[in-house]
Structure 1
Amino acid sequence: MQDGARKHTWKEQNSWVSPSVNTLESGVPSKGFSQDTEGQAAHWNPPRCGVPDVPILPDGQNGRNRQKRFVLSGGRWDKTDLTYKIIRFPWQLVKSKVRRTVAEALKVWSDVTPLTFTEVQEGRADIVIDFTRYWHGDNLPFDGPGGILAHAFFPKTHREGDVHFDYDETWTIGNNLGTDLLQVAAHEFGHVLGLQHTAVSKSLMSPFYIFRYPLSLSEDDKQGIQYLYGKPKLEPEPAPTPTPTPTAEPPQPDIETNEITNEESVQPDACDTDFDAVSTIRGELFFFKSRYVWRLRGGKLQAGYPALASRHWQGIPSSVDAAFEDPLGSIWFFQGPQYWIYDGERRVSGPAPITELGLSTSPVQAALMWGTEKNKIYFFKGGNYWRFNPSARQVDNVYPRTMADWRGIPQEIDAAFQDEIGFAYFLRGRHYWKFDPVQVKVLEGYPRQISQDFFSCTPSSNSFR
Structure 2
Amino acid sequence: LCPMRWVKSPPRSLCPALQLVMSPSHAESLLTIPWLSSLVNAVGTHVPTKGFLVGADEPTARWNPPRCGVPDLPVFPDGQNGRNRQKRFVLSGGRWDKTDLTYKIIRFPWQLVKAKVRRTIEEALKVWSDVTPLTFTEVQEGRADIVIDFTRYWHGDNLPFDGPGGILAHAFFPKTHREGDVHFDYDETWTIGNNLGTDLLQVAAHEFGHVLGLQHTAVSKSLMSPFYIFRYPLSLSEDDKQGIQYLYGKPRLDPDPTPPQPAELPQPDLETNEITNVESVQPDACDTAFDAASTIRGELFFFKSRYVWRLRAGKLQDGYPALASRHWQGIPSSVDATFEDPLGNIWFFQDSQYWIYDGERRVSGPTPLVELGLPASPVQAALVWGAEKNKIYIFGGGNYWRFNPHTRQVDNIYPRTMADWRGVPQEIDAAFQDEFGFAYFLRGRDYWKFDPVQVKVLEGYPRQISQDFFSCTPSSNSFR
CA deviation digits over 1:347-401, x for unaligned, max 9?
Answer: 1111111122222242111111112222221111132112222222222336312
Matched, 1:354 2:415: no
- What does residue range 123-138 of structure 1 map to in structure 2 within 5 Å? 123-125=163-165, 128-130=189-191
Give % identity: 64
Q: 1:259 to 1:311 in 2, by over 3 A?
A: same
Matched, 1:239 2:246: yes
- Please list every run of 5 or more consecutive structure 2 residues that lacks an aligned counterpart in the other structure: 1-62, 71-107, 131-148, 153-161, 167-187, 202-220, 253-257
The corresponding residue for 1:437 is 452
Matched, 1:332 2:347: yes
Q: 1:189 to 1:278 in 2, by over 3 A?
A: farther
- What does residue range 255-404 of structure 1 map to in structure 2 within 5 Å? 256-257=268-269, 258-397=273-412, 399-404=414-419
- Asked if structure 2 preserves the Cα contact closer than 8 Å seen for 1:406 and 1:441, the reply is yes
CA–CA distance in structure 1, aligned partners of residues 275 and 222 of structure 2: 33
Q: 1:453 to 1:104 in 2, by over 3 A?
A: same
Structure having the higher Rg: 2
Q: 1:461 to 1:269 in 2, by over 3 A?
A: closer
- Asked if structure 2 preserves the Cα contact closer than 8 Å seen for 1:151 and 1:188, the reply is no
Q: 1:102 to 1:303 in 2, by over 3 A?
A: farther
CA–CA distance in structure 2, aligned partners of residues 404 and 397 of structure 1: 18
Query: Could you say what secondary structure the match of 1:379 adopts?
Result: strand
The structure 2 residue matched to 1:89, chosen from 112, 117, 123, is 112
CA–CA distance in structure 1, aligned partners of residues 425 and 316 of structure 2: 27
CA–CA distance in structure 1, aligned partners of residues 190 and 292 of structure 2: 34
- Asked if structure 2 preserves the Cα contact closer than 8 Å seen for 1:89 and 1:98, the reply is no
Residue 414 of structure 1: CA displacement? 0.5
Q: 1:449 to 1:104 in 2, by over 3 A?
A: same
Residue 125 of structure 1: CA displacement? 2.8
The corresponding residue for 2:432 is 417
Query: Could you say what secondary structure the match of 1:278 adopts?
Result: strand
Residue 99 of structure 1: CA displacement? 5.2
Query: Could you say what secondary structure the match of 1:271 adopts?
Result: helix
Query: Could you say what secondary structure the match of 2:325 adopts?
Result: helix
Q: 1:381 to 1:188 in 2, by over 3 A?
A: farther
TM-score, normalisation: structure 2: 0.53
- Please list every run of 5 or more consecutive structure 1 residues that lacks an aligned counterpart in the other structure: 1-75, 109-117, 132-149, 153-158, 166-185, 198-203, 206-214, 224-235
The corresponding residue for 1:216 is 236
Query: Could you say what secondary structure the match of 2:453 adopts?
Result: coil
- Asked if structure 1 preserves the Cα contact closer than 8 Å seen for 2:310 and 2:321, the reply is yes
The corresponding residue for 1:181 is none
The corresponding residue for 1:80 is 67
TM-score, normalisation: structure 1: 0.55
Residue 298 of structure 1: CA displacement? 1.9
CA–CA distance in structure 1, aligned partners of residues 231 and 119 of structure 2: 28
Residue 434 of structure 1: CA displacement? 0.6
Aligned-pair Cα RMSD in Å: 4.3
CA deviation digits over 1:256-314, x for unaligned, max 9?
Answer: 43333232132212122121100111222111111111112222222222111111111
Query: Could you say what secondary structure the match of 2:246 adopts?
Result: coil
CA deviation digits over 1:16-75, x for unaligned, max 9?
Answer: xxxxxxxxxxxxxxxxxxxxxxxxxxxxxxxxxxxxxxxxxxxxxxxxxxxxxxxxxxxx
Q: 1:151 to 1:369 in 2, by over 3 A?
A: closer
- Asked if structure 2 preserves the Cα contact closer than 8 Å seen for 1:151 and 1:164, the reply is no
Q: 1:434 to 1:461 in 2, by over 3 A?
A: same
Residue 102 of structure 1: CA displacement? 5.7
CA–CA distance in structure 1, aligned partners of residues 339 and 244 of structure 2: 48
CA deviation digits over 1:87-123, x for unaligned, max 9?
Answer: 73257x1545545656887999xxxxxxxxx977784
Query: Could you say what secondary structure the match of 1:451 adopts?
Result: helix
CA–CA distance in structure 2, aligned partners of residues 263 and 120 of structure 1: 48
